[in-house]
Amino acid sequence: MAYFDSASSAPLHPVARQALTASLDEGWADPARLYREGRRARLLLDAAREAAAEAVGCRADELVFTSSGTRAVHSGIAGVLAGRRRVGRHLIVSSVEHSSVLHAAQTHEADGGSVTRVAVARTGSVAASSYAEALRPDTALACLQSANHEVGTEQPVAEVARACRAAGVPLLVDAAQSLGWGRVNGDWSVLTASAHKWGGPSGVGLLAVRKGVRFAAQGPSDERESGRAAGFENIPAIVAAAASLRAVRAEADAEALRLRELTERIRARVPSLVPDVEVVGDPERRLPGVVTFSCLYVDGETLLHELDREGFSVSSGSSCTSSTLTPSHVLRAMGVLSEGNVRVSLPAGAAAEDVERFLSVLPGAVAAVREKLGAPVSTAVTAVREDALVVNALGKRCPIPVIELAKVIGDVPVGGTVRVLSDDEAARLDIPAWCEMRGQEYVGEEPAERGSAYVVRRVS
């Protein structure tokens, strides 16, 4: 079985396993106690904090350990917003942030605060100028991920941090995906991360708050972790997290070169092996091991099951793999195809032979799914019947509305239109994306008695 979903959770690093096992015997006592066992536990905790702070690029007394990366994000955002409440209640986030950031923004908004969501380019990248334009006198905090968790696009953190610093606004950076590869560049103010993303154990997050940032921890006060993370520290897991972070950093440069070659192989060859595919994300500024692509006329969940049967664990941002039946907010913000989406995120040590085997089985897996769904084999022009057609895809989920559109587009003359009736949220994203891929004109969305009507004009 080839595990290609390290962006969700990386396999436990051997150093983490060793450190965890060793510290179970030494780090079980309360580090706040003065007797021998407590002092021993405190030494382990302090050493882990020093190692993690060095990796982050901050002082040890600026960093605390939390129960998860999500908890670090929520505590970081809430603490800065509360600390700077006198300045104002305006928060800036990008539209492709991790759900933990967006959920915190929604909570802030529900509590009476205001939120600006900065749009991204089709590559998934924000423009530093957009953040600069969003800054206001009442801006309390800006948030930006260092790299995107779904498509791998790296963000211009240093440039955004410079704009925020000039305006006197702290910048919180979610570095969960990138910290294992190196320090985050730029004059950031707050940083969060999650150990299981780099091969540490789950249940350990990092929250670094620079000196000088006004921060008011929320919730009942606690004497642990400088009052910023309540509860008894999981010292064995913390020690393993810090040890594995140091270990992956030592291997990062060489491993990044190797994984970039493998992901570039996937990016280059998938479009030639599988017809009607869109590779998404920035082709240059991206994480070493992440590559994402979307396949027209494919049910994402079915494709993932096909690949799982072939021995590959991958993930997807397709609406068909979520309980809400709505496309990934990242793909939606980028305006790219969501149906049949596949994210390949290679772990450290991923074998080139497994990548080659993945490329060999992918075409057959996609073809099998398309055949099951009755997707068009080709988009050749058929006999013209009418200047305008209506496709009723109400009650049908992705990718059926797009498949039905592709089947009939050749039945109208050049200049003719097809109206696709659909009540699937994914159609709002996938039909315009299909038009861009196939060289047709997306006219727009119109209200319908049920759902919406998506109007497409045939150009060629």
For 280, phi and psi rounded to 5 degrees? -115, 165
Q: How many whole angstroms separate alpha carbon 113 and alpha carbon 138?
A: 11
**DSSP per residue, 320-360:** GGSTT----HHHHHHT---TTEEEEEPPTT--HHHHHHHHH
- Hey, what amino acid is at 12? L
Three-state secondary structure string covering 413-457: CCCCEEEEEECCCCHHHHHHHHHHHHCCEEEEEEECCCCEEEEEE
Q: Which residues are 207's β-sheet partners?
A: 64, 192
Among 143, 320, 398, 435, the active-site one is 320
* 205, 70 contact by CB (below 8 A): yes
For 26, phi and psi rounded to 5 degrees? -115, -25
**Helix/strand/coil percentages in the chain, nearest 5:** 40, 20, 40
**DSSP per residue, 75-133:** HHHHHHHHHTTTT--EEEEETT--HHHHHHHHHHHHTT-EEEEE---TTSPPPHHHHHH
Nearest to 159 by CA among 148, 149, 174, 144: 144
**DSSP per residue, 348-417:** TT--HHHHHHHHHHHHHHHHHHHHHHT--S---------SEEEEE-TT--TTHHHHHHHHHGGGS-TT-E
Q: The tokens of 375 are what?
A: 């997707």
Q: How many whole angstroms separate alpha carbon 158 and alpha carbon 164?
A: 10
* Residue 320 among the catalytic residues: yes
Q: How many whole angstroms separate alpha carbon 44 and alpha carbon 61?
A: 15
- Hey, what amino acid is at 112? G
Q: How many whole angstroms separate alpha carbon 423 and alpha carbon 167?
A: 44
Q: 3-state class of 161 per DSSP? A: helix
Q: How many whole angstroms separate alpha carbon 271 and alpha carbon 279?
A: 8
Using alpha carbons only, how large is the chain's radius of gyration in Å? 24
Distances (CA, A) of 100 to 110, 141, 174, 207, 272: 15, 16, 10, 14, 36
Q: Which residues are catalytic?
A: 320
